[in-house]
Amino acid sequence: MEEITLRLENCEKWTKYKNLMNKTGDFICPECVRTHTVNVEQTLKMSINQEKIKRKKIEIAFESLSRENLHLKIDEHFENLKNKVDLHVEELIKKINDIRIDMVDKIYQKKNEFIEDINSVGFQHLNKENFSEEMENINDVLEKLVIEDNYLKNIDKKKCQIKKILDQLDKNKFERNKISNEIIQIVGILKLTEEKIQLNSTIGASEDFYEDFQPWL
C-alpha cells in the first residue's frame, strides 16, 4: 500500500502514499523544492487517489484471499492435527514399551529365582546314573533294599518338591486387559466437523471471480 503513488493536491505532483501516512492537515510538500503546503485529507479525497487506494486495497485483499493461501492454511491445519496425533501416539507407544521392558525384566528375574531355587535343593544328585552306579558296587541284597528304600523316599520327596514348584510356577501369569474402547480414550478424541461447509456463491462477483473461487466452494 505504501508504495502506490498519489497525486498531491495544490501542486499536482506525484508522491508515494507512505509520504502521507500518519499525517494530518497541512504539511510541507514532499515533492517540491519550492516550499508550499499540501493538505493530506484533500489529497486523499481526490477521485484519482481514491481510485488508486481502493484498487490497491482490493489487490491486497485478493492476495490474502487467494486459493493458494487458503490451501496452505488448510494444509497446515490438518498437517498440524496429524502431527499432534502422531506425537501423542508415539509417546503412548514409548510408555507402553517402557512398561513392556519393565515386565520382561521382572519375568527374567523371576525365572532366575526359580532356577536358583531348584539348584539349591540338590535335585541334580538324585538321578538314574548315580543310582545305577551306586547299586553296581553293592552285592548284598539287603543292603540294596535299604538303599532302594532310601531312593524311593527321596524320589517321593523330589516329586513333592516338583509339584510345589509347578504350583508356584502357575501362579506367575499375565492377565490380558481387553483392548476395547478404552484404548480410544487413552489415545484421545479426534473431533472433525461433520457438516459440509455451506457457502453462498459470491454476490455481484464477475465471472472471473466466480471461476477462480469455485473449486473450494
Give contact residues for Zn ion (rule: CB under 5 A). 11, 13, 29, 31-32
Q: How far is the CB of 1 from Zn ion (least distance, A)?
A: 22
Of 28 and 197, CB closest to Zn ion: 28
Nearest residue to Zn ion, scored by beta-carbon proximity: 11
Q: How far is the CB of 26 from Zn ion (least distance, A)?
A: 12
Q: How far is the CB of 43 from Zn ion (least distance, A)?
A: 10
CA distance 178 to 30: 79
Of 14 and 114, CB closest to Zn ion: 14
Of 32 and 46, CB closest to Zn ion: 32
Evaluate whether 51 touches 44 at the Cβ level (below 8 Å): no
Residue whose C-alpha is closest to residue 113's, from 169, 171, 170: 169
Q: How far is the CB of 8 from Zn ion (least distance, A)?
A: 6
Of 31 and 91, CB closest to Zn ion: 31
